[in-house]
A and B are shown apart, each in its own frame.
Chain A
Amino acid sequence: MKRNNLFLILILALMGLSLWVILPTDSTRLGKTGFQFGLDIKGGTRLVYEADLSKKDDSLSNDEVMASLLDKISRRANTYSTEPIIQKYADDRILVELPGVKDTEEAIGILGSVAILEICETDGMGSSIRTDAAGKQWFVAVGNDGTTELTGKYLKSARVGLDPNTNKPVVVFEWNDEGAKLFEEITGSNRNLGKSIAIFLDGEKISEATVQATISSTGTISGMTAPECTNLAIKLNSGSLDVPLTIVQQTKVDATLGADSLNKSLVAGAIGVGIIVAFMIFYYGIPGAIAAFALLIYSVIVLAIYKLLPVTITMPSIAGFVISIGMAVDANVLIFERLKEELRSGRSLHSAISEAFRRAWPSIRDSNISTFITCAILYWFGNAFGAYMVRGFALTLFIGVLVSMFSAVLITRTFIDILIGEGFIKGLSIHEVKKNV
């Protein structure tokens, strides 16, 4: 049969392509970077921030504030950790996942602090007053106009450097043109030259120094350890956050715990699937073996899709995959049971095969659509409160069931047609049914 041969070539090509995509597991084929594992497997920190939108600037809409927050937190996270995930959900929540990050407290400090930088002077013209830990009062420095405060919003960039005199780490910052003009006025001989100025971050003094010369475009912040300098530079570079954030949910998972769970589930899944295969072969004979082989192709295709999309693999999504194998088996069982029935009713092998597939189809279709509905709702549910595990489960189950429909009606069908229908294999256990009844 020409049609079957064509399908066979297609299926084998698809399997080959899928294998090529999957192996090796960390390959970057088709521009993708290996399997994506969730935090519960590779370990790391997951934070959920709530933005206090009541404190926003009235000229901005909630969406604008959230977009700006998302952008700034993304910039911080991307410098601080590798492959972070930053998502907005609900109206005022930001979900941050930092793979491999163990120091949750440090991460919270870097990502979520507002990071408003202010230059302060001792006898001020300005009206904003800051108090340092020693109780001393400072005025937020203003330009010669008496109103424009010099703050972090005039920063162009910040980086970690070394103080040439003390050889200690410092944060070197650079003002933009406007900031440079203000800074020049503030450090001018008629203002603070020879006097102390301080740098405040989020209302706390982090550095104090005497102005030695009038400076304009750059400045340094000293007195911190190297990691503190790095963290401050990250915060300053992203700009200050528009509104304060609070942590409403946090999770930290150790990488060894995750790897351990992954291994356990994989072993469990393999044993479970092994039993299914053995059972199918034992119960259905050669067609069972064909179905088992179709399941193998099915698994390879599904894994290739996981890798290409990519689907984030978490513990529940492994469970979703395993359950979808169960659903794929169900489609095969439906077809084989139907095949037995059709043979019992006295049909020829050829017509029984085509009837079995034709009649089993509505059941496979209708029952799987109900699973799709559940998957869609689960996906929404997972999204609505940032439960990446629930979303992952829904996605893997959906892909699994979709491919299983394709697998049952095309892959199993083609193999059965070729091997049994064309008489390559005789004396099958399913044949026995016909004789015995």
Chain B
Amino acid sequence: MFDFVGKRFWFLLFSTIIVIPCIISLAVAGLKPGIEFRSGTTMTLAFSTEVNETQLRTALADMGYSNTVIQHTSDNDFIVRMEQINNEQNSLLISALDGSLDTVTDQKEFATVSQTVAAETVRNAIIAVISASVGIMLYITFAFRRMPKPFRWGICAIIALVHNVLVVTGIFSILGWAAGVEIDALFITGMLTVVGYSVHDTIVVFDRIRENMLRSSGKFENVVNASILQTLTRSIITPITLIFVLLALFILGGATIRYFTLVLIIGCITGTYSSIFNASQILVIWENKEWSRLIPFRKRVDSQV
């Protein structure tokens, strides 16, 4: 029988190693906000003739729009992100493009967001993530009310959740400066889904611990280990099936939801990991009051490396 709980500090160390670069990237570079969060214009353009990215960039710069982000999609469309322009400026821009690139421009999509809306969106997104976390923590405390210290279960689930949120936002922060990936309202949606899924997964393991505690009187860490083992097949099979679907959507689903599915894929993997290797393990650490071991343990490992 594999001893998951016995290696709890190693698992936490692994999580720390993953989370630290995420936190550093978030602290240094932050997330690259899309127009929904910082105002601006985004448009999807297609041209009747062969046009490359450099030509488009030069043509836009000639009109005075130098600060543009241009993305050439697989369908030969161009997604352009730039400062906020109004409809008049937009019509001028399209006709100017037709002239300078000697082509016919088809504007498939045009969107602008103003400063005020962007500020509200940021505020609402933060409120949404925080209230989801609090709501879930209260629910878990309620669901585990017959356990001794039900609050702990909620806190541990939230620690796993924060871990997942950090990994997903951290990876998107890295993608932001490395590949220009911006976050939008769909990213927040994906993030909240990860929050929900992460807890969904944690609860399955917690539920088994709860059930086993009512039936056996063994040491807490043994009960937890047995529970992790009993739910292990499920913990692996469910995310695998989910990832099948998400990968299909990611590869074939088109540009609109590509990064959204990426959020879910990362969240699915980290959610599974944290349910088995973080949430339940921290429960044991808390029960055994081993907090002090966390610090010396790390020092010891550091000196070995």
Contact = CB atoms under 8 A, between A and B. Distances in A.
A279 B241 contact: yes
Nearest to A246: B114
Contacts of A380: 128
Interface in A333-392: 333-334, 337, 341, 359, 362-363, 366-371, 373-378, 380-382, 384-385, 387, 389-390
Contact of A254 (B91, B109, B245): B109
Judged by DSSP, the binding face of A is helix
Nearest to B143: A366
B199 A370 contact: yes
Interface string B165-205: 00000000000000000000110110011011101110110
Contacts of A374: 132, 136, 192-193, 195-196, 199
A276 B185 CA distance: 29
A319 to B, nearest CB: 6
Nearest to B264: A323
B186 A104 contact: no
Contact of B207 (A316, A366, A384): A366
Judged by DSSP, the binding face of B is helix
Interface stretch (B6-14, B119-127, B277-285): B119-127
Interface stretch (A27-35, A199-207, A256-264): A256-264
Given A275-B245, A362-B211, A264 B253 contact: yes
B196 A276 contact: no
A250 B125 contact: no
Given A363-B204, A381-B125, A260 B254 contact: yes
A33 to B, nearest CB: 25
Interface string B58-89: 00000000000000000101000000001110
B128 A273 contact: no
Contact of B257 (A319, A370, A377): A319
B245 A322 contact: yes
B138 to A, nearest CB: 9
B52 interface: no
Interface in B122-148: 124-125, 127-128, 131-132, 135-136, 139-140, 143
Interface string A307-339: 000000001100100110111011001100100
Interface in B6-40: none
Given A261-B254, A273-B245, A333-B237, A316 B113 contact: no
B252 interface: yes
Contacts of B55: none
B186 A254 contact: no
A104 B91 CA distance: 11
Contacts of A367: 199-201, 203-204, 207
A253 interface: yes
A329 B249 contact: no
Interface residues of B, number: 73
Contacts of B131: 377
B297 interface: no
A235 interface: no
A68 B193 CA distance: 37
A261 B203 contact: no
A273 B247 CA distance: 11
A138 interface: no
B245 A359 contact: no
A333 B238 contact: yes
Interface string A235-263: 00000000000011111111011001100
A363 B204 CA distance: 5
A254 B117 contact: no
Contacts of A368: 200
Contact of A275 (B91, B117, B193, B244): B244
A381 B140 contact: no
Nearest to A371: B196
A329 B254 contact: no
A333 B245 contact: no
Given A253-B109, A272-B249, A369-B139, A385 B192 contact: no
Contacts of A323: 193, 242, 245-246, 264
A387 B35 CA distance: 13
A272 B248 contact: yes
A329 B189 contact: no
B261 A319 contact: yes
B49 interface: no
Nearest to B122: A385
A257 B108 contact: yes
A269 interface: yes
Contacts of A97: none
Given A366-B143, A373-B135, A385 B249 contact: no
Given A251-B111, A326-B242, A271 B189 contact: no
15 contacts: A254-B44, A261-B257, A275-B241, A316-B189, A316-B260, A325-B245, A326-B238, A363-B207, A368-B200, A370-B136, A370-B139, A370-B199, A373-B135, A374-B196, A380-B128
Q: Which 7 pairs between the two chains have the least Cβ-Cβ distance?
A: A374-B196, A272-B245, A272-B248, A254-B108, A268-B252, A251-B111, A381-B128
